[in-house]
Amino acid sequence: MYVSRFSISIEKELLEKLDKLTRSLRFPNRSRTIRYLIQQATLQKNRKENKEMAGAIVLIYNHHQRELQSQATRLQHDFHPLILSVQHVHLDHENCLETLAVKGKADELEILANLLISIKGIQYGTLVLTGSL
């Protein structure tokens, strides 16, 4: 990948903030932090503009909860075009961790995630959108 160099002018306070951020993110240099900030801003913009995105829905639940698994499976079938894969891990005797790799319009992914997360008995759920396509 071709890398460009450029110089920027910013206030001293802002530069201190950039360095503080670089340290707290444990990035090796300012360039890495600026690259990260551009990626985050682009991600937010793409999400707002309902672009095609990829990511994961992560759920934790107790599999003894009645109806939960059949409800979750029904929903996953209803939204099957958005779901690329499902990984189910038995965390311990009761708890399961399910990770759905998803791809689709940001709004649709959000609807699917919220429907899954709001199923009675889901202890934890989150949607992570990492890239746009």
Q: Which positions from 51 to 90 touch Ni ion by CB under 5 A, shown as an x/- string?
A: ------------x--------------------------x
Helix or strand holding residue 133 (H, E): none
**Residue 23 Cβ vs Ni ion, minimum distance, rounded to whole Å:** 40
96: contact with Ni ion by CB under 5 A: yes
* Residue closer to Ni ion, measured from CB, 26 or 93: 93
CB of 102 closer than 8 Å to CB of 56: yes
Nearer to Ni ion, 82 or 96 (CB): 96
Taking the complex as a whole, the smallest distance from the CB of residue 88 to Ni ion amounts, in Å, to 6
Residues numbered 2 to 61 that lie near Ni ion (CB under 5 A) are none
Q: Give the span between the Cα atoms of 37 and 109, in whole angstroms.
A: 23
What are the percentages of helix, strand and coil residues in the chain, rounded to 5?
45, 30, 25
Measured CA to CA, the distance from residue 116 to residue 68 in angstroms comes to 10
Q: Which residues contact Ni ion (rule: CB under 5 A)?
A: 63, 90, 96
